[in-house]
Every structure is written in structure tokens, then in C-alpha cells.
Structure 1
Amino acid sequence: MNVLVIKANNRPASEAISTRMFETFMENVEVENIKVYDVFEEYTPYFGQDFFTIFGKLQQGETLTEEEQAMLAAQQKAQELFKEADVIVYAFPLWNLTIPSKMHTLIDYLYQAGFTFRYNAEGQSVPQLPGKKSIILSARGGFYSTPETAPLEMGVNYMRNVITGVFAHDILEEVIIEGHNADPQNAEKIIADGLERVKEVAKTVSQLQINA
């Protein structure tokens, strides 16, 4: 069983709860084949016209520049790691109501017709890499699980839609730590309880390894 852990926070664990969630998961999971893709450490040029120029050159059989080759290799690396993974763990914070831009770049690399989906004759989206299992580990300082605030949250909600709707992957577990900044008196307990849940998720993944 291959596990891919996507880390999307470059703040230290002393300051960032989602980083602590990532570290807690890594310290407690027992899997032989596990890889980490850190979106801030990897070369992840933003997805835009430069990439479309690359795709156009490839279709025309034109030669890519060295920079274009490096950009294409960055996307291909991410796609290859994603393709070979059986379980994908996403560890990320809520920043400004959504996911970090570098993580969105990674999703742009993967959310590609011909890779994670294709269009059939009726124009419907058909998953190309279904059957994988996903885990969401996320932290947000405010409370976004109430009926009033839930519509504002576009991090976990976005990832749920991409994971289940486009990739057609099952979400095996979700751990969301929230409110530690909004409720500082209870922050220590909120964080500790959440990290205990992360440990349980790590055990769940370890059990999948045993049963694989």
C-alpha cells in the first residue's frame, strides 16, 4: 500500500496547528511505503498561460525551453506520486477562507482532463483514477461548523468536492481542529483532543497496511 501525505503549511508546528497535525500523523503512522509532498518545498510554479503554452507546444511537437521542461516535470512529478498512491492524506490550514495558494496549484496540476477525469460522448465527467482513499487533516482558528458560518468555509468544502466529485475518491477520515483562536480559554483542550483524533487516524491507516 502506497501512502502520499500532502503538507500544505510552511509555518512551524509551534505556530501552526495543521503543521502539528501533519507531524503527529507522521509520528504515529506505520506504513512501509509513505511519501511526503510538501507544496512549499517542491517546485510548484503557478498554473496559468505558461502551462497552456507548454501543452500547445507538446501537441504541435515543438521543443520546450529549459524552463518549460522544468515546469512540465514539476507537474508530472506531482501526477506520478498521486497516481501511485492508494491513500492520500491532505494536511492543510484554512487561510483567508480557503486553502493555501500553493496547495491550489497542486490541485490544478491534478485536476486535468485526461488524467483524473475525461469527458464522455455526452459531455459528462468520468473519473480516470477512482477507488483511492483520502484523509483530510485541517485546522482553522475560528468556528466554521455552524449553520451561519459553514457557507463561508471554502477550504474543506472545496477539497471535499474535488476529492469526491472529480477524483471519485472515498474520504476515509476527517479531522478538523477549529476554534482554538476564537476560544483561547479552551484552546489547549481543543488542540489536544484534535491531535488525539489524528493519532487514531494514523492507526487506521496503519491497519490498512496490515490488511493490504
Structure 2
Amino acid sequence: MSKLLHIESSPRKERSHSISAAKEFIEGYKAANPNDEVETWDLWAEPLPEFDGKVLDAKYRILHGQDHTDDEAEAWNRIVSVFERFNSADKYLISLPMWNFGIPYKLKHLIDVITQPGLAFSFSPESGYTGLVTGKPVAVAYARGGAYGSDETKGMDFQKTYIEILLGFIGFTDVKSIVVEPTLAAPEQIESASAAARDEARRISAAF
């Protein structure tokens, strides 16, 4: 039995286009994998630890091969706990809207907590950075008000571009995308975009 972790980053819930696409994905996934576990991690429902002074000190002690103080170890253990929840999954689904051309701050908070040396990546002077979250597929459901596929607009996309860079950095190589765009348009255009995304979500989930 495998575990699919859905990381949900929109606060709009039933009005969210990214969550709607994710729900379609989950329905298709459950139909194809009835014995698998599916967990939803609502980033708006649970607080994450602050990435502040003692945690930063603990991070740099790791990078410099030094031992933690007791206070640093306690702070770092909170980070490790969040990462272990993330890393416990075999497969991932991330749903996110575009906010100000980027990603919601709740999702960025999670990324900043889990993307740590010895957890999500390693570093050596000889080989550089190596992602440690490997051998796992991830599907990402993006929603954005405009359309960002043209040469004129793609340079403004700091949502999908950033997520793909980050996922690659920590080790993901099997990345599937579901895009709902535009969500700020005429009703028939929005429905067409949503329907296409739901179809794509079903298609990807069947073989995920």
C-alpha cells in the first residue's frame, strides 16, 4: 500500500480551482488505487514552526559539520518532525493558486521548513547539491487568473517555474502538471479551462 500526500495551499476551499482539480485527481487516483492511503495536509489548518534564530543557527552548524547546542537541537527537531511528515509519503499532489505571480506564503513557509541540509538535500564541495527526496512522483495542480503560456507572459510566471525548480532541487524527477488558466475571464472560458484541467487530472491520476 502506498501513501499519496495532498498538500493543499489555497484558503478558498470550495471556490478554489486548484483544489477542484486536486479533488478530481484524488477521485481518479482512489478509483485506480483503492487500497492506497490518501492524506490531505491543509496548510491553513495547522501552524508550522517559525524558521527563526535558533533554527538558522542549527542549520548552519549542520552545514559546517558542527554539533547542536541543546536549544538548537530542540528547535531543529521541530523542523525534522515536519520534514518527516512530508517525507513519509510515497507520492505527492500539490495544489496551489498563483498569488502576485508567485505562490501562497503558507506554501513558501512549508518549503522553507523542509528544504534543509541532511533532510531534503545534501552538499559537498566536490559534487555540490544533491536532492534527497528521490524516486517519488509528484503531480501539481496550478490555478492562475491569467494565461502564462505565451512569450509575452511567461516571464511573469514565478509560480510554476519556481515550484519546478524547487522540486528538482530536492530530488524530484517525475513531475506532472495540471494547469487551470485563466480563472479571471468570461464564465464560459473559465468553465472550459476548469473542465480541461479536470480531464487532465483524471488522465494523470489513472496511471500515477
Verify same fold: TM over 0.5: yes
Quote the residue 1:6 is aligned against.
Answer: 7
Return closer, same or farther for 1:190/1:128 CA change in 2, 3 Å cut-off.
closer
Unaligned runs of 5+ in 2: 62-66
Q: TM-score, normalised by structure 1?
A: 0.82
* Correspondence 1:72-87 to 2 at 5 A: 72-73=77-78, 75-87=79-91
| CA root-mean-square deviation | 2.3
* Contact preservation (8 Å) 1:143, 1:182: no
How far does residue 60 in structure 1 lie from its aligned partner after superposition?
1.3
Q: What does residue 70 of structure 2 align with?
A: 61
Shift of 1:174: 0.8
Q: 2:141 aligns with which of 134, 137, 141?
A: 137
Return the offset for 1:190: 1.4
Match of 1:174 among 177, 188, 207: 177
Q: CA deviation at 1:98?
A: 0.6
Rounded to whole Å, the distance in 2 between the matches of 1:89 and 1:179 is 21
**CA 1:53/1:168 → structure 2, altered by over 3 Å: closer, same or farther?**
closer
Indicate whether 1:158 and 2:162 are aligned.
Answer: yes
Q: Which amino acid aligns with 1:197?
A: E
Partners of 1:123 and 1:189 in 2: CA distance: 46
Give distance in 1, aligned partners of 2:195 and 2:12. 19
Residue 12 of structure 1: how far off its partner (Å): 2.5
- Distance verdict in 2 for CA 1:118–1:63, change over 3 Å: closer
For 1:42 and 1:54, locate their aligned partners in 2 and report how far apart those are by CA, in whole Å.
Answer: 23
Indicate whether 1:195 and 2:204 are aligned.
no
TM-score normalised by L of structure 2: 0.83
Quick check: 195-204 or 90-99, which moved more?
195-204
CA distance in 2, matches of 1:147, 1:63: 47
The one-letter code sitting in structure 1 at the alignment partner of 2:19 is: T
Q: Distance in 1 between matches of 2:92 and 2:98?
A: 19
Q: Counterpart of 2:64?
A: none
Inter-partner Cα distance in structure 2 for 1:5 and 1:42: 14
Residue 25 of structure 1 pairs with residue 25 of structure 2: yes
Please tell me the residue identity of whatever aligns with 2:6: V
1:123/1:60 CA distance change after superposition, 3 Å: farther
Taking a change above 3 Å as real, the CA distance of residues 143 and 133 of structure 1, as seen in their structure-2 partners, is same
Aligned positions of 1:34-73 closer than 5 A? 34-49=38-53, 51-52=55-56, 59-62=68-71, 72-73=77-78
CA 1:123/1:41 → structure 2, altered by over 3 Å: closer, same or farther? Answer: same
Aligned length: 197
Letter in 2 for 1:11: R
* Percentage identity across paired residues of the two chains: 22
**Distance 1:201-1:54 versus aligned 2 partners, 3 A rule:** same
Q: Structure 1: where are the runs of 5+ without partners?
A: 206-212
Displacement after TM superposition at 1:44 (Å): 1.6
Q: Quick one: which amino acid aligns to residue 122 of structure 2?
A: R
Amino acid paired to 2:139: I
Question: Is the 1:79–1:110 contact (alpha carbons within 8 Å) kept by the matching residues of 2?
Answer: yes
